[in-house]
Amino acid sequence: MNLVVDIGNTSVKVAVFQDAELLEKTSFSLKDFSEKISEIKKKYPQTGAAILSSVVKDVKNEVNLLQKGLYFLQLSPDLALPFRNCYATPLTLGKDRIALAAAAVAAFPQKNVLVIDAGTCITYDFKNAKEEYLGGSISPGLEMRFKALHKFTANLPLLTTEEDVKLIGDSTKSSILSGVVNGMLDEIDGTINAYRSKYEDLTVIFTGGDEQFLSMRLKNGIFANSNFLLEGLNYILEFNRTQ
């Protein structure tokens, strides 16, 4: 069994895999890391290996806890990866984005794949049919957009998202909701369209904390998969163990 851990800027996601099957998934705040990981390790004593992807600074304590008694890998560009990394600055590439590209290779070999991860930030990651990772883009996520409008103005309240979003906002609240949510959807649909005009046979995967809220509102057809990053990490772990 494998313990797979993704530390993002908002939350920690953890899954236990038996081969390629996900047995359990949980998410929690980084401050609860020690308690939650100890619980999972106790519940699955058969766990033999673990992998960590982190995009936050200083995870020494988390690494120490995870690697105790396990074969352990921390995701870095030095690991064996199932794609050629064409990013101009591979050392600064987010580890989460490496995992997403690996998941794209594992799930859709020899296909052009765009992975959209709507988390703290939205990341767009593209790998082509030749298993080359070319890069993508980074933009502010849903919560970050609401926070930015509040933080950098004197008059705008801090909102969170709601189900009912109008096109024409007729109040401060509905105007902010329209700008943030419709703006984000147009960005995502526009980006998918731009990739589709370059790569006709494009597969699009949508994942991340805001996957459910956003994916049902998109005009483009996408595959929603909330476990995609964790599946990519599990694949990298197995890929390196069997090298």
Ligand X SMILES: Nc1ncnc2c1ncn2[C@@H]1O[C@H](COP(=O)(O)OP(=O)(O)O)[C@@H](O)[C@H]1O
Ligand Y SMILES: CC(C)(COP(=O)(O)O)[C@@H](O)C(=O)NCCC(=O)O
Catalytic residue list: 96
Listing DSSP states for 167-184 in one string gives: SS--SHHHHHHIIIIIHH
Determine, following the binding rule CB under 6 A, whether residue 211 of this chain makes contact with ligand Y. no
89 near 98, Cβ under 8 Å?
A: no
Please state, in angstroms and rounded to a whole number, the distance separating the CA atoms of residues 216 and 210.
11
Strands (DSSP E) along 12-89, which ranges?
A: 12-18, 21-28, 49-54, 71-74, 84-85
Q: From the CB of 85, what's the least distance to ligand Y, in Å?
A: 12
Q: Is position 95 annotated in a ligand binding site?
A: yes
67 near 45, Cβ under 8 Å?
A: no
Q: Which residue is nearest to ligand Y (CB)?
A: 94
Q: From the CB of 129, what's the least distance to ligand X, in Å?
A: 27
Residue 156 binds which entry of ligand X, ligand Y, none, CB below 5-8 Å type-dependent: none
Which stretches of the chain bind ligand X, using CB under 6 A?
A: 8-11, 119-120, 141-143, 208-210
Q: Is position 11 annotated in a ligand binding site?
A: yes
Residue 142 binds which entry of ligand X, ligand Y, none, CB below 5-8 Å type-dependent: ligand X
Please state, in angstroms and rounded to a whole number, the distance separating the CA atoms of residues 64 and 42.
16
Determine, following the binding rule CB under 6 A, whether residue 230 of this chain makes contact with ligand Y. no
Please state, in angstroms and rounded to a whole number, the distance separating the CA atoms of residues 218 and 181.
11
Residue 106 binds which entry of ligand Y, ligand X, none, CB below 5-8 Å type-dependent: none
- Which of 8, 41, 62, 207 is the binder for ligand Y (CB under 6 A)? 8
* x/- track of binding to ligand Y for residues 43-82 (CB under 6 A): ------------x---------------------------
Instruction: Provide the CA 120 distance to its chain's centre, in angstroms.
Output: 9
Listing DSSP states for 68-125 in one string gives: TTSEEEE--TTS--SSEE--S-GGGS-HHHHHHHHHHHHHSTTSEEEEEEESSEEEEE
* Positions that interact with ligand Y (CB under 6 A): 8-9, 55, 92-94, 96-97, 117, 119-121, 123, 138
Residues of each annotated binding site = 6-13, 87, 94-97, 117, 120, 172
